[in-house]
Amino acid sequence: MSELIGPFREIITLESTPIKGALTDDQMGIVSEGGVIIEEGKIVSVGKFDELAKEGRKISLIETDQILIPGLVDCHTHLVWGGTRSRDYTMRMSGATYESILEQGGGIFDSVAKTRSASAEALLNDLITRANRHLDDGVTTIEVKSGYGLDVENELKILEVISKGNDRLIVDLVPTCLAAHVCPKEFSDKRAFLQHIEKELLPRLKMNRLTKRIDAFVEPSAFPKDVAYEYLKTAKAQGFDLTIHADQFHTGGSDIAVKLGAKSADHLEASTEKEIELLANSDTVAVALPGASMGLGMNFTPARKLLDAGASVAISTDWNPGSAPMGDLLVQSSVIGIYEKLSSAEIFAGITFRAAKALGLSDRGRIATGQLADFISFPFDDYREILYNQGKVKPNMVWKNGKRVKDV
């Protein structure tokens, strides 16, 4: 049975907003005093509420001023980990670099040890808590990476936790295998480790249908460009989609991403004009991770230059225990918007349909006919209030697959 929801003071549909390039706010497809018709979890129609109400269907009346936007998509997170990295954060505040902490056995290795020792049940409970907080903040689709296992059995454990979480959560989880996060201490040769992963892990991922996505951290301190390229090329040949931790401290990762047709190149804080041009002339989404910039005290992804060059730019949290522990998409989007001089349209696109594109998803991120009925509303009469409040005001209503799952 179809249902009409509304009226909303403004609906930011993003229905025809371009997938690439710079945007102005008049490209957001705003419908004033609008309504949305949903049926079986999908959007049937969007338009003026009074006109839609004439068709005589069930109406869920919205009695206060509300701004409706698509459900948010966080396309890069690490939500399964054990323990904490507060010691690392304190060291960084005192001047230690990310790479120096890693070399001293901290950083990712600290999380690996704690995640390996954690039970699957404990990891699942923490994942559910984090994902539900995200849903409460309006995030209706979350990518979740492995990468704190760094051996076959623990990487499988993490991906199985994500699968179980998907069964128990309202929000959609999109799993990604990041076994190529850093080389574990058990291996002295990085190429040998990745060949081991190719042989022992990738076939089991396919057999158990745990993920269709492979990621790698392309950095001299993690996996150098030539070593990562061969691994990612093999993964692609086996039918996996690719995403890459690229250009965080050194360039090279975005070049691989474009050459291999990766869905996204993420981080990009070190990208130069060369990398910006490569990404702009490709179908690879450039994913900015302002939470990592804030957590590490480093420059932001050059989002303004990427957009002006014609790239598709998404914004994500990189929620993880080390470099980006905040995990608040609205706050981070508001902050990078000020520093990189982004329009509201560019920010909203970056956390909805452009982020969905980074995950290979075309069925969400817009309020338009045929899309999933994932949307969120804010208690305002002007969409500009959302980012003006810098993430402090969260959505008071959230719909997932047409069902209202938050109503405050």
**Residue 24 has what pLDDT?**
98
Provide the pLDDT for residue 106: 75
Residues comprising the chain, all counted: 408
Q: At residue 25, what is the residue type?
A: D
Task: Please report the pLDDT score of residue 355 as a whole number.
Answer: 99
| CA proximity to 176, closest of 274, 260, 87, 76 | 76
pLDDT score of 359: 98
So what's the pLDDT on residue 93?
86
Mean pLDDT of 310-337: 97
For residue 191, the model assigns a pLDDT of 98
For residue range 63-78, what is the model confidence (pLDDT) as tens digits? 999 999 999 999 999 9
Domain extents in the chain = 3-70+365-407, 73-358
* Fold of the CATH domain 3-70+365-407: Urease, subunit C; domain 1 (2.30.40)
Residue whose C-alpha is closest to residue 69's, from 30, 127, 114: 30
Give Cα separations from 94 to 36, 89, 97, 109, 271 (angstroms).
51, 9, 9, 20, 26
Q: If you average pLDDT over residues 308-332, what whole number do you get?
A: 97
- What is the pLDDT at residue 100? 81
Percent of the chain whose pLDDT exceeds 70 = 100
Provide the pLDDT confidence category of residue 177 given band limits of 50, 70 and 90: very high
Mean pLDDT value across residues 342-348: 98
Q: What is the mean pLDDT of the chain?
A: 96
pLDDT value at residue 194 = 98
Tens of pLDDT along 204-261?
999 999 999 999 999 999 999 999 999 999 999 999 999 999 999 999 999 999 999 9
- Whole-prediction pTM: 0.97
Q: What is the pLDDT of residue 325?
A: 95
Residue 15: pLDDT band (50, 70, 90) is very high
Average pLDDT estimate for 20-37 = 98
58 pLDDT band, cuts 50/70/90, is very high
pLDDT band at 186 (very low <50, low <70, confident <90, very high): very high
What's the half-sphere exposure (Cβ side, CA atoms, 13 Å) at 313?
Answer: 33
Quote the percentage of the chain above a pLDDT of 90.
Answer: 92
Read off the pLDDT of each residue in 314-319 and give the average, rounded to a whole number: 98
**pLDDT at residue 306, as a whole number:** 99
Q: What is the pLDDT of residue 387?
A: 98
pLDDT at 104: 74
* Residues 246, 360: Cα–Cα separation, whole Å: 18
Residue 10, pLDDT above cutoff 90: yes
If DSSP states are collapsed to H, E and C, what string results for the chain? CCEEEEEEEEEECCCCCCCCCCCCHHHCCEEEEEEEEEECCEEEEEEEHHHHHCCCCEEEECCCCCEEEECEEECCCCCCCCCCCHHHHHHHHCCCCHHHHHHCCCCHHHHHHHHHHCCHHHHHHHHHHHHHHHHHCCEEEEEEECCCCCCHHHHHHHHHHHHHHHHHCCCEEEEEEEEECCCCCCCCCHHHHHHHHHHHCHHHHHHCCCCCEEEEEECCCCECHHHHHHHHHHHHHCCCEEEEEECCCCCCHHHHHHHHCCCEEEECCCCCHHHHHHHHCCCCEEEECHHHHHHHCCCCCCHHHHHHHCCCEEECCCCCCCCCCCCCHHHHHHHHHHHHCCCHHHHHHHCCHHHHHHCCCCCCCCCCCCCECCEEEECCCCCHHHHHCCCCCCCCEEEECCEEEEEC
Q: Same topology for domains 3-70+365-407 and 73-358, yes or no?
A: no
Could you give the CA distance from residue 189 to residue 381 in angstroms, rounded to a whole number?
Answer: 58
**Distance from C-alpha of 311 to C-alpha of 284, rounded to nearest angstrom:** 8
Q: Please give the pLDDT value at position 89.
A: 85
Q: Which amino acid is at 225?
A: K
pLDDT, tens only, 79-102: 999 999 888 888 888 888 877 887
CATH number for the region 73-358 comes to 3.20.20.140
Section 38-50 average pLDDT: 97
What pLDDT sits at residue 16?
Answer: 98
